[in-house]
Structures are given as C-alpha cells and as structure tokens.
A and B are shown apart, each in its own frame.
Chain A
Amino acid sequence: MTSTKNNIDFGIDSRYRSKTEKDSESNQLMKARLKRQQNLSKEQINNARLMQLKLRMEDYLQNPAYDAKNYFTQFLKQYVDSLYSKRSNFAHDINITPNLLSKILNNYREPNQEFFYRLMIHSEKVFQHIGEFQKKLWIQVYYHEKICDTMFDQNNWRPKIEKQIKLSELTIK
C-alpha cells in the first residue's frame, strides 16, 4: 500500500476543469466551512490571530518595508488587543503603568530594554500552546524597523549630517 501511494504521490493536478466545476465546488465548500467556523472556540480563533501576528512579524523581517509605517507598534497593538479586553490589563500583567504602555503604543516613547524582557517572557508564555515563537522576534522587529526607517529617511537627515562629517586625516582621491 505504501509503495503504491509513494508511486502516485509525486504531485497533484488540482486545477478546476471548468468554471461550473469551480463554482459548484466553491459553493459546497463555503457552506461546509461556515458550519465548521461556527463551531470554532474563542481560544481557537485567538490562536489563529496570534499565529497570523507571528507570521506577519516573520514576513516583515524577510521582506523589509521601506516606508513610514510604525510596524513594531502596529504588531504590539495587535498582540495586546488579541489577548486583552483592556490594554491597561496587559500593562498590569507586565508590571508597567498603563500610561507608559499607551506612550509606547502611540509612538511617544521608545520601549526600553526592561520592556523587551517583559514582552519576551509574556510572549513565550502566550505562545507556549500555539506554536514556536522566537525569543528574539520582538527585538528583531523593533531594530529592523529602525534600520529601514534610517535608510528610508536619508533624504531628510543626510544633507544636514553630511556637512558635519569630515575626514581630516585621510586623503580621498
């Protein structure tokens, strides 16, 4: 049986033969999926949203975005809002003030090392039953964004800074 399976398991041609076939299969599948979705527990929905967040963070690291968006805080908001009814409850759980959390989420204050330690440990606990979550992921996203911002924003900072930089002991031909 295994041998037979291995001999045909080299590939799948799963293309619909006609629009009629596609529409008919789609309708049936949609009905069945809606029923199954109604039976999803709150925990299963939450796990899917947290997995989505993790995959988006990993994707951001692999596909740098050179734009003005605040990726770290957007991801952090999604994380907190997936888990808590009130953001202040998250602040309480990682032992910081709601005011500090609000400033970080709204980009009025940079997160410090201590904040990352707490976020790292919180995420480890949350993802324990969902899937692997790299310890370094939050910090990587944060610094990755800094690099992207610096490179994206060169037209703004470079003209002024270049005037301040000299190579007094070097001869450049």
Chain B
Amino acid sequence: MNIIELSSGNVIPIEVLPVHESDFKSITKKRYFFNWRTEKAFEILKLIIRGEHEILGLISFERIPNECRIHIRLLTVSVENKGDHKKYDKIAGNLIAYVAKIAVMDYAELACISLTPKSALVNHYMEKYQMNITGKTLSLEVPEILHVINQYDNDEH
C-alpha cells in the first residue's frame, strides 16, 4: 500500500498498524480533529510512512460479526493533509481499504464495511469508492469491496 507525495509525485510505501497507548500522547484533537481517547474501547489503526513514526491518518471501527459487517466510526487525516494544500494523497482511501481487507478476510462474500458521513460527503464517497446507500448508511460490499482492495493493495512485490 502506498500514498502519493503531491509536491513530487513520489509513491511512498506505508504501513497501517494498531494504535498503542503511547501513541495517544501525539494524537491531539488539534492535529487529528476528534477526541480519539473516547475510541479506546474500539479498534483504532494508524497510517504511517514505512519506517517512520508520524501518524498521517487514523481510523476507528467496530466489528459487528452477526451482520458480517465492520462499521467505521471515526476516520481522519492529520491537519497537514487536509484540504487543497495537503501533503499526501490517498491516506483516507488506504485506511478504508485496510478495513475492507479485514472484512473480506473474516467474511468473504458476505463482507461489508459501512459508514455514515455528513450529507455533503455522501456523493463523494459513493463516487470514489462505489458505495451503496441505504437510509443514512453508506456500505461497501462484494463485488465493489474487492475493487477498492485491489485499487489500494497493488504494490506488495
């Protein structure tokens, strides 16, 4: 998996890893927009450049095994990667794809990831990730979930 450095166009390899207690010192609301400490009861993953420590993005999620579904709770990029002047591209997409991989690994053809973004972002997510909409919930299922995994997980040689 990789991200793109927008200033140079360079492709940078990344890792997605579980957040540890010691990470919370640097995960402030100012840099990551939400109070991530309230998510400790759930799984939280961080995206970093391979071999580095700086957290570029975070995602928290809840597994709902009886529905073969993973619900994304919070997702964010660091403040430097927000908006028109962001440093790297593909941070959020990689985090979504990583959770999609967990869902397919656990549930195969029944796999589903879901989220409920602000209404202003619904169309953006539907177009970018080919998500379905049901009520307020956007979901990614087979076959589209496999396309998203392939789109972001194609550089492991």
Nearest-CB residue, chain B, relative to A3: B84
Q: How far is the CA of A23 from the CA of B20 in the complex (A)?
A: 31
Q: How far is the CA of A79 from the CA of B134 in the complex (A)?
A: 34
Tell me which of B86, B101, B157 contacts A6 (CB under 8 A).
Answer: B86
A30 neighbours in B (Cβ, 8 Å): 67
A9 CB–B CB distance under 8 Å: yes
Which of the segments A50-58, A65-73, A88-96 contacts the partner chain?
A: A50-58
Tell me which of A14, A29, A36, A52 contacts B135 (CB under 8 A).
Answer: A29
B117 neighbours in A (Cβ, 8 Å): 12, 14
Tell me which of B32, B109, B139, B153 contacts A44 (CB under 8 A).
Answer: B109
Tell me how many residues of B have a C-beta within 8 Å of chain A: 53
Tell me which of B77, B104, B153 contacts A48 (CB under 8 A).
Answer: B104
Q: How far is the CA of A43 from the CA of B132 in the complex (A)?
A: 21
In the complex, what's the smallest C-beta–C-beta distance from A44 to chain B, in angstroms?
A: 5
Main DSSP-derived SS at the A contact region: helix
Per-position binary interface string of chain B over residues 36-71, scored 1 when its CB falls under 8 Å from any chain A CB and 0 otherwise: 000000000000000000000000000010010101
A6 neighbours in B (Cβ, 8 Å): 82-84, 86
A118 CB–B CB distance under 8 Å: no
A171 CB–B CB distance under 8 Å: no
Tell me which of A5, A8, A12 contacts B115 (CB under 8 A).
Answer: A12
In the complex, what's the smallest C-beta–C-beta distance from A88 to chain B, in angstroms?
A: 25
B34 neighbours in A (Cβ, 8 Å): 11, 13
Main DSSP-derived SS at the B contact region: mixed
Q: Is the CB of A11 within 8 A of B142?
A: no
A7 CB–B CB distance under 8 Å: yes
Q: Is the CB of A33 within 8 A of B109?
A: no
Nearest-CB residue, chain B, relative to A55: B105
B149 CB–A CB distance under 8 Å: yes
B134 neighbours in A (Cβ, 8 Å): 25, 28-29, 32-33
Which of the segments A103-111, A130-138, A160-168 contacts the partner chain?
A: A130-138
Tell me which of A8, A12, A25, A132 contacts B136 (CB under 8 A).
Answer: A25
Some 19 contacts from A to B, beta carbons below 8 A apart, are A10-B79, A11-B76, A12-B72, A13-B34, A13-B73, A16-B71, A25-B134, A28-B137, A29-B67, A29-B135, A37-B110, A40-B109, A40-B142, A44-B143, A51-B149, A55-B101, A130-B146, A131-B149, A131-B153
